[in-house]
Amino acid sequence: MYMDAVVFAGIATVLLMVVFFVGVGVFVMRDQKAHGEEHQKKGLKTGGKPA
Question: What is the per-residue pLDDT for 37?
Answer: 73
Residue 20, helix vs strand vs coil: helix
Question: What is the per-residue pLDDT for 28?
Answer: 96
DSSP state of 47: T
Question: What is the per-residue pLDDT for 48?
Answer: 61
Question: What is the per-residue pLDDT for 29?
Answer: 95
Phi first, then psi: what are they for 39, rounded to 5°?
A: -75, -35
Question: What is the per-residue pLDDT for 31?
Answer: 94
C-alpha to C-alpha distance for 24 and 27, rounded to whole angstroms: 5
Question: What is the per-residue pLDDT for 9?
Answer: 96
Q: pTM of whole model > 0.75?
A: no
Longest dimension (CA), the chain: 63
C-alpha to C-alpha distance for 42 and 46, rounded to whole angstroms: 7
The pLDDT tens digits for 24-47 are 999 999 999 988 876 666 655 556
